Amino acid sequence: MSLAGPDAAFWRGKRVLLTGHTGFKGAWLALWLQRLGAQVTGLALAPATQPNLFELAGVAAGLDHHVVDLRDAEAVARVVRDSRPEVVLHLAAQALVREGYREPVSTWASNVMGTVHLLDALRQHAGAKVAVCITTDKVYRNHEWPHPYREGDELGGHDPYSASKAACELAIASYRDAFLKEQGLALASARAGNVIGGGDWAADRLLPDAVRAWQDGRALEIRRPEATRPWQHVLEPLAAYLVLAQTLWTDASAAQAWNFGPLPHERATVRTVIDLARSAWPGAGVNYAQRIDGPHEAGWLALDTSLAQTRLGLAPRWNLAESVGRTLRWYRALHEGGEARALCLADLDAWSGVEARAAA
């Protein structure tokens, strides 16, 4: 997402605590941090799906891996104390809307108290200088209005996942103002739009559901084809998190909430994303629902990312068509015998411009 991209000189040798490194986004970020030369400690639950990117890409080989539940305050504090992080990137969460409906209590416990346990451990660890906590674009009280949400708009959330992430924003702001600012730790939150990319096998996510159906020769069932979201390739928000952390290292005024997402004209409906995906997967079938079923989900959501563009110099490198195409090619290549780690590193090289520089 950054025009300049993460700075390898900054990350080389940095002690980084990454929570959620066994998840989809976390595994990608762990690989990127390893490539940048950071000393990474990972704190997370065991991978939630089979298959999963963490195991397929051999992510554990390049970091200090800890299986810890964020709801266990003592275990979280112990990892923070032992790893002595300089930078903390907090991605661990219960991240699925429908799972939040099924398990609301554990969703609130993981997302809110898990974040509080981490922040309180940092309050007791004087060495950390920067922390970025990842929430979601769904933290806003969604009025289904026609303009994108800005960082100062009202927080809320209809479902347990969205509401628990909005509550995280309050906890983050409280710890920043009451404790961490005074001890010299710059703490920011990051609200990213819907993320796509190879290596996601979570349930109830659009492209993973599509890949599962099409690999099995089935038509994909779509519940809400006109739902609109700010879709982006996984490398875009991850780059933004890294650039934000770099900025916080020298500029504590950046310790606030940030939106990260595609440019306004790139937000798209589920139907548009699936049409792009079908063009990359010959013979793919789709059945669009004639009625909407299931729990409530927002119909329209968009982020205003002008603050990140003007203050952090961030702009997406890959448009929607490129992002969807690369995602589907990743899954097809893996299905045809490709190696997950190599596929991820190839996408990292392409995003970073290594391919272009090699051809020049």
Give dist(CA 141, CA 155) in Å, integer: 5
φ, ψ of residue 269 in degrees (nearest 5):
-80, 165
- Say yes or no to pLDDT of 2 above 60: no
State the average pLDDT for the chain: 93
Question: What was the pLDDT predicted at 205?
Answer: 93
Looking at residue 218, what DSSP letter applies? Answer: P
Token pair in block for residue 326 = 């690369």
359 lies in some domain: no
CA distances from 341 to 70, 103, 211, 327 (A): 27, 32, 19, 14
Q: Which of 195, 148, 139, 132 is nearest to 306 (CA)?
A: 148
Domain, as residue range, for 324: 8-293+300-352
- Return the closest-CA partner of residue 192 out of 223, 247, 246, 149: 149
357: pLDDT strictly greater than 90? no
Looking at the domain assignment, is residue 2 inside a domain?
Answer: no
- As a whole number, mean pLDDT of residues 178-201 equals 96
Query: What CATH number did the domain enclosing 31 receive?
Result: 3.40.50.720
pLDDT at residue 251 greater than cutoff 70: yes
Domain count, the chain: 1
Q: Identify whether 181 is part of a domain.
A: yes
* pLDDT over 50 at 305, yes or no: yes
Q: Has residue 294 got a pLDDT over 70?
A: no
pLDDT digits (tens, 9 = 90+) for 218-235: 999 998 899 898 999 999
Q: Is residue 3 part of a domain?
A: no
Q: Which of 275, 245, 271 is nearest to 260 (CA)?
A: 245
In a domain, 1, yes or no: no
Distance CA 220, CA 243 (A): 37
Percent over 90 (pLDDT), the chain: 85
74, part of any domain: yes
pLDDT on residue 257: 98
- Position 145 scores a pLDDT of 77
267-280 tens-digit pLDDT? 899 999 999 999 99
Average pLDDT rounded to a whole number, residues 59-75: 97
Long-range (24+ apart) CB contacts under 8 A made by 328-337 are 328/207, 328/211, 328/277, 328/280, 328/281, 329/280, 330/197, 330/198, 330/199, 331/198, 331/211, 331/215, 332/280, 332/281, 334/56, 334/198, 335/215
Residue 360 lies in a domain: no
d(CA 325, CA 350): 13
Q: What is the reported pTM?
A: 0.95
> Does 190 map to a domain?
yes
Contacts of 168 (CB under 8 A, 6+ apart): 111, 112, 115, 133, 135, 139, 189
CA distance 146 to 72: 41
Residue 288 has pLDDT above 80, yes or no: yes
